[in-house]
């Protein structure tokens, strides 16, 4: 019973932090949203920082799944879109971690320890996809440029949510911020894709986003 309550608190906190920003969520709001007393909340988590640590554990698990996706040389573009879909899910599920560091300060010890490997794995993954596109004649790029392109893609996708927040633009659920970041990263290299590859990649990304929106709308209708 206690384990179920703890998991419910963690999930409720993640959703509230994503929707309202970490700094705007109080323990009273968390307890009310979870349907428990503040005393029960404090029994499981003494501070919001303790909740941050629990959510970080879930984030690291999701991140490991994303980093395990590699190019399928029979379907390079399709596997790249699969990678982007996993990354988009990560960004949406843990939106506040990518956006609200100004609120919570230092990352947790577990995330700080993992970050070098996360960035190295992300860079290696993007390099592998861009190199596969190059090998297939889809991407006109020199070997020496692939690493820089990978880093620039990471920067765009990693910091879009934080940038939008600091600019006072919409950055929460339903704002299209994550999809916008995915589309924006394409501008880094779409002009170097072959016309057919560019059209196909744009088509698959659009289909991915439309499918997500349809699934969300179906969920809303089922809930009503």
134-144 pLDDT, tens digit each = 999 999 999 99
The architecture CATH gives domain 1-46: Orthogonal Bundle (1.10)
Collapsing DSSP to helix, strand or coil, 121 comes out as: helix
Q: Is pLDDT at 219 greater than 70 in this prediction?
A: no
- Do residues 51 and 43 touch, judged by C-beta distance below 8 A? no
**CA gap 83, 159 in Å, rounded:** 18
Confidence of residue 152 (pLDDT cuts 50, 70, 90): very high
**CA gap 75, 204 in Å, rounded:** 12
Helices (H) then strands (E): counts for the chain = 11, 0
Picking from 67, 172, 176, 199, the residue whose alpha carbon sits closest to that of residue 129 is 67
C-beta neighbour count of 147 within 10 angstroms: 14
Contacts for 81-90: CB closer than 8 Å, 24+ residues apart: 81/201, 81/204, 81/205, 81/208, 83/125, 83/129, 84/182, 84/205, 84/208, 85/208, 87/157, 87/182, 88/178, 88/179, 88/182, 88/208, 88/212, 89/62, 90/59, 90/62, 90/63, 90/66
Higher pLDDT, 224 or 65: 65
Confidence at residue 3, expressed as pLDDT on a 0 to 100 scale: 54
CATH homologous superfamily of 56-223: Tetracycline Repressor, domain 2 (1.10.357.10)
Confidence of residue 209 (pLDDT cuts 50, 70, 90): confident
Q: Is pLDDT at 38 greater than 80 in this prediction?
A: yes
Confidence of residue 206 (pLDDT cuts 50, 70, 90): very high
Tokens of 19: 């929707």
What percentage of the chain carries pLDDT values higher than 90?
A: 89
**CA gap 108, 156 in Å, rounded:** 23
Q: CA-based Rg of the chain, rounded to a whole angstrom?
A: 19
Helix (H) or strand (E) holding 119: helix 109-135
Confidence at residue 211, expressed as pLDDT on a 0 to 100 scale: 72
Higher pLDDT, 186 or 222: 186
Q: What share of the chain is helix, strand, coil (3-state, %, to 5)?
A: 80, 0, 20
Residue range(s) of every CATH 1.10.10.60 domain in the chain: 1-46
């Amino acid at each position: 019973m206690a384990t179920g309550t703890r998991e419910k608190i963690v999930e409720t906190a993640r959703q509230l932090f994503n929707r309202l920003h970490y700094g705007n969520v109080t323990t009273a709001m968390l307890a009310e949203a979870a349907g428990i007393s503040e005393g029960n909340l404090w029994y499981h988590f003494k501070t919001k920082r303790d909740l941050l640590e629990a959510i970080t554990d879930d984030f690291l698990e999701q991140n490991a799944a994303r980093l395990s996706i590699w190019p399928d040389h029979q379907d390079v573009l399709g596997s790249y879109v699969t990678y982007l879909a996993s990354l988009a899910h990560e960004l949406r599920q843990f939106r506040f971690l990518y956006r609200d560091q100004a609120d919570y300060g230092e990352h947790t010890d577990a995330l700080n320890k993992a970050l070098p490997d996360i960035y190295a794995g992300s860079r290696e993954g993007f390099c592998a996809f861009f190199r596969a596109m190059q090998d297939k004649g889809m991407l006109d790029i020199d070997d020496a440029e692939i690493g820089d392109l990978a880093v620039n893609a990471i920067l765009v996708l990693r910091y879009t949510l934080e940038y939008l927040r600091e600019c006072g633009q919409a950055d929460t659920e339903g704002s299209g911020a994550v999809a916008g970041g995915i589309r924006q990263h394409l501008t880094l290299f779409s002009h170097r894709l072959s016309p057919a590859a560019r059209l196909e990649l744009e088509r698959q990304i659009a289909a991915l986003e439309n499918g997500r929106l349809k699934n969300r709308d179906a969920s809303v209708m089922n809930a009503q």
